[in-house]
């Protein structure tokens, strides 16, 4: 494992250090993190320098393009970084290798521009262009989590695109915390785009599922989207059941809260919200109010993208650590082992549910 180096971008330092600790324990070795310097000129231009040799090393770059807490001084004023700027730093660090690395694997849990994955009319095709650009820059493998549209891999047919899901890790945490509720569950998709994800959760838990269809006003556009008129429910009777609402990401969260309110009105007991990425772009006031009203019991999300410490300490929020999963992926890739065992944790979840059910009897 001496041929391996981690480059942990400043936007995911805590996650990267946890991954490094796992790798150190797995391989009985010292730290794998390579030192880098990220500098900014006063007009906002930047550069990255790698402070040690990476020649003939297998590089694993870890970045969180969704971290909105990072900033730098531009013309004397604090300037908070957008996903575009985080992506630019990824290109800088690849450039700084000067072509000397043996292999470059980019670990980008929140895929850059993942929601701009298809074109309608005269629109940019940002995600596909970015993936092709990374391939041209010399990236050999891209690792991401819960891509908004997994089909985006077709933009780079010759490049390995590993799209993992933290489903079993989230469910392990859920089962550990909510033992009393797992025997009376239904899983729900908040819209038709999330049905496959909800079905997978339902299969893992061995329960039924339902879905909501978002009926939109196609004659209007508000904040770039057609406003939702109604959530039409399709599924089994909800009364007296506990519910899990699952999606890949929570942006404003308004839609998920509205679905939770509808489930409450239909007689659902405890309602749990689950998302790989809790972006919470409009703040948390709506979640605080909904929690206080008893609309939902808890929100489960991961540390794969930035969430402020203040939110992590809320009673209604549960942070799921995925650093061990990333360390496993790196270990398997570096040892040239098949990643197949890491894609499916279904057996472990089923065994855990069975043990919990036996205890509850």
Contacts of 213 (CB under 8 A, 6+ apart): 191, 192, 231, 232, 234
DSSP per residue, 186-239: EEEESSGGGHHHHHHHHHHHT-EEEEEEEEE-TT--BTTBPPEEEEEEESS--T
Coil, helix or strand for 83? helix
As a whole number of angstroms, the distance between CA 162 and CA 74 comes to 36
As a whole number of angstroms, the distance between CA 19 and CA 325 comes to 8
As a whole number of angstroms, the distance between CA 361 and CA 357 comes to 6
Catalytic residue, from 5, 214, 264, 298: name it. 214
For the question of residue 214 being annotated catalytic, the response is yes
- Buried/exposed 296-306: b ≥16 CB within 10 Å, e otherwise: bbbbbbbbbbb
* H helix or E strand, kind and range, residue 329: helix 323-334
Q: What is the dihedral of CA 83, 85, 87, 92, to 10 degrees?
A: -170
193: exposed, middle or buried (Cβ count in 10 Å: 0-12, 13-18, 19+): middle
Per the structure block, which two tokens stand in for 222? 């508000």
Catalytic residues: 214
């Amino acid at each position: 494992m001496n041929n391996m180096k981690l480059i942990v971008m400043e936007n995911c330092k805590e996650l990267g250090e946890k991954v490094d600790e796992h790798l150190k324990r797995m391989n009985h070795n010292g730290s794998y993190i390579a030192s880098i310097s990220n500098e900014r000129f006063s007009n906002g231009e930047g550069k990255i320098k790698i402070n040690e040799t990476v020649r003939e090393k297998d590089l694993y770059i870890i970045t969180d393009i969704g971290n909105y807490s990072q900033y730098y001084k531009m013309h004397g004023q604090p300037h908070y970084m957008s996903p575009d700027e985080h992506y630019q730093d990824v290109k800088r660090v690849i450039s700084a290798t000067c072509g000397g690395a043996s292999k470059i694997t980019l670990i980008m849990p929140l895929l850059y521009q993942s929601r701009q994955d298809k074109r309608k009319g005269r629109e940019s095709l940002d995600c596909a262009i970015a993936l092709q650009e990374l391939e041209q820059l010399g990236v050999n493998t891209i690792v991401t989590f819960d891509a908004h549209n997994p089909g985006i891999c077709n933009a780079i047919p010759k490049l390995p695109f590993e799209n993992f899901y933290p489903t079993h890790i989230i469910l392990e945490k859920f089962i550990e915390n909510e033992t009393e509720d797992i025997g009376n569950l239904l899983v729900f998709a908040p819209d038709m785009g999330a049905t496959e994800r909800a079905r997978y959760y339902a299969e893992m838990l061995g329960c039924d599922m339902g879905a909501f269809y978002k009926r939109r006003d196609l004659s209007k556009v508000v904040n770039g989207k057609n406003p939702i008129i109604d959530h039409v429910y399709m599924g089994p009777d909800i009364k007296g059941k506990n519910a899990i609402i699952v999606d890949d990401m929570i942006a404003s969260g308004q839609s998920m809260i509205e679905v939770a309110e509808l489930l409450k009105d239909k007689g659902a007991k405890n309602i749990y919200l689950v998302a790989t990425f809790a972006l919470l772009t409009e703040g948390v006031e709506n979640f605080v109010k909904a929690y206080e009203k008893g609309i939902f019991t808890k929100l489960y999300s991961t540390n794969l993208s930035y969430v402020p410490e203040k939110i992590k300490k809320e009673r209604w929020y549960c942070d799921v650590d995925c650093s061990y999963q990333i360390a496993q992926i790196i270990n398997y890739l570096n040892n040239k082992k098949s990643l197949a065992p890491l894609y499916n944790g279904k057996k472990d979840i089923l065994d855990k549910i069975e043990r919990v059910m036996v205890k509850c009897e």
